[in-house]
């Protein structure tokens, strides 16, 4: 078969290789501690499940409007007002099949073939792949602990050229858990928008913050494009429901493209998500957030004790991007051996870019504190046994 | 806002304009007969609803593998064996967010910028828009009653050139309800594949056939790309679940792209769809199919009585593409006036291409026979009242 040329550059994820091997080992009776995938162990919150069951009894599961159930768009707008004190016209909110759908939609609206799009390296591997899907060119800007792994205006100014069309920023970020300070975000957004570039702000880990709360890029400008989701903070991964907030001037374009790409997002998930903002559910999510904070501390302390470096303490999401330069010269070989020999699954830096990936491992604290402690014990034994 | 250039060519659907206006009129207390949208009035089959409710109680709603639940991929493979006598390796089946997702996936794998893709005109409006999304050039081939509104090998041979990369065929087709005969399909597939082009066969209306059953393009070749869905025959529109069957040589590429585009299809919908192939459910679907057949006959006879021409009797899906040349010179103005004055919503040909769209109206038989009769009565009164 001859594929489209873009497919040569759309790489598979190492994490899937790790996950597949982990499942094989489990199939053979091994106990595996999963710290490789970005999916928490928590089940769908009971309040959401109840709402979904009620919808199945009471609602006709038909197509919704392309932008989503009007009630849900209003509820999301209400959440921005309540959480961030920002008023968003519900028309600007497009409910999508996951944040994946929101990214597909927004990049489809923005990226012309040949456009450069700036991204932090390390960063989420789908960003460069989806930019390439539309013929764009991902420009990876190496970030490190000096900027808490964030893109900055000065990094961007140094690389901006005529081909540059915009940026994707993420806070809290995958794989580093870093959070962008408000002044850094503002100067970055100003820098891009003054050059007539677009800003896509991926806010999928919003709500999972363990120090200062993150701000939305909508606080910086009302012409940014925001991506968010019910998957992470709201605990609804398998429901595949996200949203995009687009500028008012882009509503018509988003509507046309959403009709063609999706028809609409899944209806049962939309009814379930309507209950996500209920006070009863938010109490449960706060309980989970506190557990994530505790897990993070267990993991960070354990890793540092074993000689991993954490030059910038992760402040959000559920990831630790650990510098393993004093532990191994090759994070990929280390991760594969750790899985085979000790039954601990983690993701090597290779999935997240080309900025010294051999020097990093991503650990997810998506397992319980007890399992994380067990994982750290196994890691310690594994490291002692190595030459 | 500056959008990507592709957006200039991605047109909105007139049907959405009609639907929005119909809802406004309903909001103002008018009774509207909906024959404009491709969504049947039947609710989700009870057997499916029961399976979904059970999944909510028993299953953890997490991400599934990118290609879908293994059980569901096997069940779909089993359906091909049972219905068509064709063995498909379940690995070749990718469960997607609706047939929309399957089209996005497959065209993303196949269409390079500048590639021409041949389509029947009239045809489903998303085809040209999704081809443009990836920088491809839709080449509309005018079809008429002479080929029962189907693409044919000779039409294609006459237009094939170096830029041509492949075709999208559909049987049963939207908006014409036409079905492609096996020999026509075989020669078309042979014609394209002998020129090293790709064949995407949209089989989303499979099962909704009222004469000879349709064959799948997988009967013609095992290197075609097939699109299908749980929306239409299986009555699960709002669940947003479809699938693609890809050639074995394309499995790896499809896997990589599906991971990036979707992560996975919605999990509750996948568990619900697992029950779609149960004998109890198939009995209910057969009952519905017979009702569609009856509705079609009511609608076709009524339209012919009123002076509409049906040069090729629709044999599948739930659409009648009626030639209104003896009724009105302008199908769009007619549709808008019919809605305002008589409360009957239908779609003008303009949504389906540039092949004499002013001469056609699409009527959906997605309403009950009784409502269709009422719609025909209103249509008759409306026509009598016109100058």
- Residue B130's φ and ψ, nearest 5 degrees, are -75, -30
pLDDT category at A198 given cuts 50, 70, 90 is: very high
Res B387 pLDDT > 80 = no
pLDDT category at A43 given cuts 50, 70, 90 is: very high
Flag if B56 and A53 touch (Cβ within 8 Å): yes
Mapping DSSP to helix (H, G, I), strand (E, B) and coil, where does residue B118 land?
A: strand
Flag if B44 and A63 touch (Cβ within 8 Å): no
CA-based nearest distance A342→chain B, Å: 24
Res A70 pLDDT > 70 = yes
The first and second tokens of residue B302, run together, are: 């009524």
Mapping DSSP to helix (H, G, I), strand (E, B) and coil, where does residue B345 land?
A: strand
- CA dist B188 and A181 (Å) reads 59
Give the count of Cβ contacts less than 8 A between chain A and B: 199
Q: Which residue of A has its CA nearest to B199?
A: A1
- CA dist B287 and A238 (Å) reads 33
Burial B363-379 (b: 16+ CB within 10 A, else e): bbbbbebebbbbbbebb
pLDDT tens per residue, range B80-98: 999 999 999 999 999 999 9
- CA dist A202 and A193 (Å) reads 17
Which DSSP symbol is given to B309? B
> Residue range A186-215: average pLDDT?
96
pLDDT tens per residue, range A252-292: 999 999 999 999 999 999 999 999 999 999 999 999 999 99
pLDDT category at B35 given cuts 50, 70, 90 is: very high
**SS percent in chain B: helix, strand, coil, step 5:** 50, 15, 35
Residue pair A275/A59 in contact by the 8 Å Cβ criterion: no
Q: B339, B338, B337, B335: which is closest to B349 by C-alpha? A: B335
pLDDT tens per residue, range A143-188: 999 999 999 999 999 999 999 999 999 999 999 999 999 999 999 9
Looking at residue B75, its pLDDT comes to 98
Burial A222-239 (b: 16+ CB within 10 A, else e): bbbbbbbbbbbbbbbbbb
CA A135 to chain centre: 22
- CA dist A311 and A313 (Å) reads 6
Element (H, E) at B27: helix B14-27
pLDDT category at B11 given cuts 50, 70, 90 is: confident
Q: What is the ipTM of this complex?
A: 0.97
> Residue range A187-194: average pLDDT?
98
Res A222 pLDDT > 70 = yes
> Residue range A244-257: average pLDDT?
97
Res A80 pLDDT > 80 = yes
Structural Rg of chain A based on CA atoms: 21
Residue pair B227/B217 in contact by the 8 Å Cβ criterion: no
- On the CB side of A5, how many CA atoms lie within 13 Å of its CA? 10
Flag if B100 and A255 touch (Cβ within 8 Å): no
Which DSSP symbol is given to B28? T
- CA dist B161 and B140 (Å) reads 14
Res A350 pLDDT > 70 = yes
Comparing B9 with A119, the larger pLDDT belongs to: A119
pLDDT category at A37 given cuts 50, 70, 90 is: confident
Q: Which residue of B has its CA nearest to A131?
A: B260
Res B2 pLDDT > 80 = no
State the best of A13, A34, A56 to mutate against chain B, taking most chain B CBs within 10 Å. A56
- CA dist B244 and B68 (Å) reads 11
| Neighboring chain B residues of A247 at a CB cutoff of 8 Å | 1
**Mean model confidence pLDDT for chain B:** 96
Looking at residue B12, its pLDDT comes to 83
Flag if A223 and B130 touch (Cβ within 8 Å): no
Those residues whose C-beta lies under 8 Å from the C-beta of residue A28, and which sit 6 or more positions away, are none
pLDDT tens per residue, range B334-373: 999 999 999 999 999 999 999 999 999 999 999 999 999 9
Looking at residue B311, its pLDDT comes to 87
A296, A334, A342, B32 from A338: Cα distances, Å: 20, 6, 5, 65
Flag if A39 and B63 touch (Cβ within 8 Å): yes
Name residue, tokens 């044999």: B315
Q: A314, A322, A324, A321: which is closest to A292 by C-alpha? A: A314
Res B1 pLDDT > 80 = no
Looking at residue A7, its pLDDT comes to 92
- CA dist A101 and A94 (Å) reads 10
Flag if B239 and A264 touch (Cβ within 8 Å): no
CB atoms near residue A326 (< 10 Å): 11
- CA dist B356 and A50 (Å) reads 51
**Mean model confidence pLDDT for chain A:** 96
Res A1 pLDDT > 70 = no
- CA dist A112 and A81 (Å) reads 33
pTM of the model: 0.97
Per-residue HEC secondary structure of chain A comes to: CCCCHHHHCCCCCHHHHHHHHHHHHHHCCCCCEECCCCCCCCCCCHHHHHHHHHHHHHCCCCCCCCCCCHHHHHHHHHHHHHHHCCCCCHHHEEEECHHHHHHHHHHHHHCCCCCEEEEEECCCCHHHHHHHHCCCEEEEEECCHHHCCCCCHHHHHHHCCCCEEEEEEECCCCCCCCCCCHHHHHHHHHHHHHCCCEEEEECCCCCCECCCCCCCHHHCCCCCEEEEECCCCCCCHHHCCEEEECCHHHHHHHHHHHHHHHCCCCHHHHHHHHHHHCHHHHHHHHHHHHHHHHHHHHHHHHHHHCCCECCCCCCECCEEEEECCCCCCCHHHHHHHHHHHHCEECEEHHHHCCCCHHHEEEEECCCCHHHHHHHHHHHHHHHHHCC
Flag if B269 and A264 touch (Cβ within 8 Å): no
State the best of A92, A166, A222, A266 to mutate against chain B, taking most chain B CBs within 10 Å. A266
Residue pair B184/B215 in contact by the 8 Å Cβ criterion: no
CA-based nearest distance A198→chain B, Å: 9
Domains identified in chain B and CATH numbers: 5-44+280-385 (3.90.1150.10), 60-278 (3.40.640.10)
Looking at residue A375, its pLDDT comes to 98
Residue pair B311/B352 in contact by the 8 Å Cβ criterion: no
Flag if A44 and B53 touch (Cβ within 8 Å): no
| Neighboring chain B residues of A66 at a CB cutoff of 8 Å | 16
Residue pair B30/B22 in contact by the 8 Å Cβ criterion: no
A118, A144, A209 from A167: Cα distances, Å: 5, 18, 23
Looking at residue B37, its pLDDT comes to 87
pLDDT tens per residue, range B181-223: 999 999 999 999 999 999 999 999 999 999 988 999 999 999 9
């Amino acid at each position: 078969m001859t594929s489209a040329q873009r497919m040569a550059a759309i790489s598979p994820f190492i994490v899937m290789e790790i996950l597949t091997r982990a499942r094989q080992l489990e199939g053979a009776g091994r106990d595996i501690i999963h710290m490789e995938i970005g999916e928490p162990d928590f089940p769908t919150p009971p309040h959401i499940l109840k709402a979904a069951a009620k919808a199945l009894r009471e609602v006709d599961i038909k197509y919704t409007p392309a932008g989503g159930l009007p009630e849900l768009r209003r509820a999301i707008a209400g959440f921005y007002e309540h959480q961030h004190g920002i008023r968003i016209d519900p028309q600007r909110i497009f409910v999508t099949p996951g944040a994946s759908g929101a990214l597909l939609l927004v990049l489809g609206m923005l990226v012309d073939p040949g456009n450069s799009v700036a991204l932090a390296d390390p960063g989420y591997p789908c960003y460069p792949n989806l930019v390439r899907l539309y013929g764009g060119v991902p420009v990876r800007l190496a970030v490190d602990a000096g900027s808490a792994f964030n893109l900055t205006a000065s990094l961007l100014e140094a690389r901006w050229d005529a081909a540059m069309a915009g940026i994707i920023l993420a806070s809290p970020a995958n794989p580093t858990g870093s959070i962008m300070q408000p002044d850094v975000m503002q100067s970055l957004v100003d820098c891009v928008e003054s050059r007539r570039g677009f800003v896509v702000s991926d806010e999928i880990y919003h709500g999972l913050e363990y120090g200062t709360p993150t701000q939305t890029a909508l606080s910086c400008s009302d012409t940014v494009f925001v991506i968010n989701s019910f998957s992470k903070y709201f605990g609804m991964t398998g429901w595949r429901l996200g949203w995009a907030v687009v500028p008012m001037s882009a509503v018509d374009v988003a509507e046309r493209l959403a009709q063609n790409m999706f028809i609409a997002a899944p209806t049962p998930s939309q009814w379930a998500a309507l209950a996500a903002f209920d006070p009863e559910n938010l109490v449960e999510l706060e309980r989970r957030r506190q557990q994530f904070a505790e897990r993070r501390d267990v993991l960070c302390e354990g890793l540092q004790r074993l000689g991993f470096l954490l030059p910038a303490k992760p402040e959000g999401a559920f990831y630790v991007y650990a510098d393993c330069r004093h532990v191994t010269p090759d994070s990929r070989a280390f991760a594969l051996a750790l899985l085979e020999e000790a039954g601990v699954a983690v993701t090597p830096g290779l999935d997240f870019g080309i900025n010294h990936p051999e020097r990093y491992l991503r650990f997810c604290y998506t397992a319980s504190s007890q399992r994380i402690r067990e994982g750290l014990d196994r890691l310690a034994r594994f490291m002692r046994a190595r030459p």
